[in-house]
Amino acid sequence: MDARPPEPLLTDAELAEILHVMPQTLARWRAAGRGPKWIRLETGLVRYDIRDVEAYLDAQRRCGGAPRAETVR
């Protein structure tokens, strides 16, 4: 059986530092249903699983150098 320790959970402050945003931005994203998946603990505290953050960041990747579609007027 694999006895790996659980992945760490990030606080708002820790994730905000990683993403270079304010913690209030994370709160707005949660309210709007945006941003990485989050967990509300029984204590009411919000935490982020690092795997969910990585999945969110992977989904945000764009192909660099690909031309943008032109708008037809």
Q: Is residue 68 part of a domain?
A: no
Pick from 38, 48, 46: nearest CA to 18:
48
Q: Domain range spanning residue 18?
A: 9-60
The answer to whether position 2 is within a domain reads no
In a domain, 36, yes or no: yes
pLDDT for 62 = 79
Segment 19-43 mean pLDDT: 97
Cα(25)–Cα(34) distance, rounded to whole angstroms? 10
Q: Identify whether 67 is part of a domain.
A: no
Within a domain: 40 = yes
Whether residue 67 is predicted with pLDDT greater than 80 in this model: the reply is no
Model confidence at 7: pLDDT above 80:
no
The closest of 58, 59, 63, 29 to 46, measured between CA atoms, is: 29
How many domains is the chain partitioned into structurally? 1
Residue 49 lies in a domain: yes
Q: Is residue 3 part of a domain?
A: no
pTM, entire model: 0.75
